[in-house]
Structure 1
Amino acid sequence: MDWYLAGIEQLAIVRGLKASFVAYPILNALHIMSIGALLTSVWLMDLRILGAFRSLPYAAFVALLRRTAFTAFAGALVTGSLLFSVRAREYAAMSIFLTKMTLILLAGANFLVFMRHAKGGDEPAGGVASVLAVLSLVLWTSVLFAGRFIGFLN
């Protein structure tokens, strides 16, 4: 595994990131912007599921935020992968990084379970939706905190 991670660190794009004075900070800022958009859209969706913003139509509100969340997640995935690539061996050895990745997988699984309960864009019925919304809030917020700890626990 170490040879694979070392290979990632030697890719031309990664060497370019390391050599550039501005590329890495810009990439980092784009990652933070993506995370901000992701968490904002997830929080607003989950709060709507929990009963906030009832004056807004559920299906349209959630559909807009879901598209925003998917786009923001894609941005965070791309930028995060590039940030990881600069110090792949170091990050892969950090338990907090592995915790963050696990939390992201759990948040994704939670979303898939939620989608299974949502039917045709309508508001999911029952207490399951509320439990999944609270779990989503906890998981995505935990992802944020784990990510912030990565920079301070190396």
Structure 2
Amino acid sequence: MEPLLTAAATWLDAVGIGPWARGSSLVYPVANTLHLLGLVMLVGGIGVVDLRIVGLWRTLPIGALSRALTPIAIGGLLVMAASGTILFAADGDALARSQTFARKLIVIALALANAAAFRLLWWTKFDDWRGAVPGAARAMAALSLALWLTAGALGRWIAYS
């Protein structure tokens, strides 16, 4: 993964994003703050839906909850992708060599794959779940929570590795 990340860092420098991110006293802290906001939106949105699917708040209809909160989670993911690109550009060479950063990217890929599989398998069935939620759906929701929280934790641990 390191050669791909090094190439990405080189390209971000060539198009000016890296120097811009490193050359301003505001860009990095603003991007970092936006990245945290995106994480809150993502985990706060999809996390509540996941917790409902796992078994909490059984009186809340899953379909309505998902329709209300999934767009917030997707918005958070987009904010994180944009701000994360800026954060990566600011220190791409070091991050390209970071095993913690590589693990974070792998966990994000797994979380996105789990989300895509969940949507393909269960999206149209939410309104049918008046009682018991299928065990596979509960397991995927629990996995979603674990993966997104792990990605967030790994993001914080990058500074210490």
User: TM-score, normalization: structure 1?
Assistant: 0.90
Task: Report the Cα offset of residue 87 of structure 1.
Answer: 1.3
Look up the match of 2:58: 54
User: Is there any run of 5+ residues in structure 1 with no aligned partner, and where?
Assistant: none
Task: Report the Cα offset of residue 86 of structure 1.
Answer: 1.1
User: TM-score, normalization: structure 2?
Assistant: 0.87
The 1:113/1:4 distance shift into structure 2, 3 A limit, reads closer
Question: SS of the counterpart of 2:60?
Answer: coil
- 1:142 maps to a residue whose letter is T
Q: Is 2:45 aligned against 1:41?
A: yes
User: Is there any run of 5+ residues in structure 2 with no aligned partner, and where?
Assistant: none
Look up the match of 2:152: 144
> Residues 18 and 24 of structure 1 are in contact (CA less than 8 Å); yes or no, is this contact kept in structure 2?
yes
Percent identical residues: 27
Q: Is 2:78 aligned against 1:70?
A: no
Distance 2:93 2:160 in 1: 16
Distance 2:79 2:107 in 1: 18
Q: Is 2:137 aligned against 1:133?
A: no
> Residues 9 and 88 of structure 2 are in contact (CA less than 8 Å); yes or no, is this contact kept in structure 1?
no
Task: Report the Cα offset of residue 9 of structure 1.
Answer: 2.7
Bigger share in helix:
2
In angstroms, what is the RMSD of aligned CA positions? 1.7
